């Protein structure tokens, strides 16, 4: 457990659902997470399907307001953006954070809402995965600082050299989300890390082993997990239901069938997360299902974090 890093997902979507758009609260939550000993702080991305603050602009403010904590996107949708502009934004953010950035990326969960988001922005939903893969290839070249010419299926540009470049010549680490054979092969081929959320630790262990067998580089195994803490497990379950169904506009049972979720006591949460650590997770990104996110952050830090560290 000593090697397990713990991150905190900023409640950008929860705040937007409440109609609260005071972003300074989110920056303060990041500052507090750093002070409480979290290893990382993350922001999600969904401009239209589940609207919230833009993750890159928010994390830029967090970068200036913090000193130690790693910053990450959980997860960014590169297919919605042009890779020259996105590479430029991420390199600038990485400079502001002095190299503390991890870029969690995904293709977009296949449902009607996500497809509508791609359609509204004018990007083919059916081609989102190939566009994601090509974006990664293009951005890694753009981050080298050399003049880049690129000709692909989706993007074609010549003699491009953006500035600044990231702190590391390799660029910030790219972690990919996803499960299933095609996604695992993509992680093994392209990614520096894997950020997934299988609802069972044994599935996580199997998928991690599949990545390791074919990975072209060392891949950090990470977990995205939703928790609701309460000393009364039944009350925790009900609070989780309210939070998840408000967040996704879908039944809890449908969401927890595909996502790692826990409702119960602090000790139970630590034991549940330990099962994923035993399955190979080295970094967990915690989303707290709560109405009062300030209190929930303090509660997790005071009662679960010590058991994990």
Give the domain range for residue 263. 5-307
How far is Cα 97 from Cα 67, in angstroms, rounded to an integer? 8
Q: Is the pLDDT of residue 2 over 80?
A: no
How far is Cα 164 from Cα 168, in angstroms, rounded to an integer? 11
How far is Cα 297 from Cα 309, in angstroms, rounded to an integer? 16
User: Residues near 175 by Cβ (< 8 Å), separated by ≥ 6?
Assistant: 72, 75, 102, 103, 104, 105, 191, 192, 193, 194, 195, 220, 222
pLDDT tens digit sequence for 207-229: 999 999 999 889 999 999 999 99
Question: What per-residue confidence (pLDDT) applies to 203?
Answer: 98
How far is Cα 306 from Cα 300, in angstroms, rounded to an integer? 9
pLDDT tens digit sequence for 45-77: 999 999 999 999 999 999 999 999 999 999 999
Indicate the pTM of the whole model. 0.97
How far is Cα 206 from Cα 112, in angstroms, rounded to an integer? 29
> Structural domain tally of the chain?
1
Percent of the chain at pLDDT > 90 equals 96
H or E element: which one contains 194? strand 193-196
How far is Cα 77 from Cα 103, in angstroms, rounded to an integer? 10
Domain CATH for 10 = 3.20.20.30
């Amino acid at each position: 457990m000593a090697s397990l890093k713990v991150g905190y997902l900023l409640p950008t979507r929860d705040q937007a659902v409440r109609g609260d758009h005071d972003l300074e609260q989110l920056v303060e939550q990041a500052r507090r997470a750093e002070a409480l000993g979290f290893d990382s702080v993350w922001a999600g991305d969904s401009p239209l399907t589940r609207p919230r603050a833009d993750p890159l602009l928010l994390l830029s403010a967090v970068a200036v307001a913090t000193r130690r904590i790693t910053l990450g996107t959980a997860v960014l949708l590169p297919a919605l953006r042009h890779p020259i502009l996105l590479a430029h934004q991420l390199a600038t953010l990485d400079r502001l954070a002095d190299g503390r950035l991890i870029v969690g990326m995904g293709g977009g969960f296949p449902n009607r809402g996500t497809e509508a988001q791609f359609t509204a922005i004018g990007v083919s939903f059916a081609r989102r995965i190939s566009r994601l893969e090509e974006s990664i290839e293009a951005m890694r070249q753009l981050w080298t600082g050399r003049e880049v010419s690129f000709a692909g299926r989706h993007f074609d540009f010549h003699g491009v050299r953006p500035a600044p470049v990231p702190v590391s010549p390799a660029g910030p680490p790219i972690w990919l989300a996803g499960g299933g054979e095609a996604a695992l092969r993509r992680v093994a081929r392209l990614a520096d890390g894997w950020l997934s959320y299988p609802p069972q630790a044994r599935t996580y262990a199997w998928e991690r082993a599949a990545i390791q067998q074919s990975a072209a580089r060392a891949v950090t195994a990470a977990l995205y997990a939703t928790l609701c803490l309460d000393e009364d497990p039944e009350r925790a379950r009900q609070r989780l239901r309210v939070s998840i169904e408000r967040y996704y506009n879908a039944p809890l049972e449908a969401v927890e069938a595909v996502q790692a979720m826990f409702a119960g006591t602090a000790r139970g949460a630590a034991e549940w997360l330990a099962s994923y650590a035993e399955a190979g997770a080295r970094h967990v990104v915690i989303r707290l299902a709560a109405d009062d996110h300030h209190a929930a952050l303090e509660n997790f830090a005071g009662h679960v974090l010590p058991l994990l560290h």
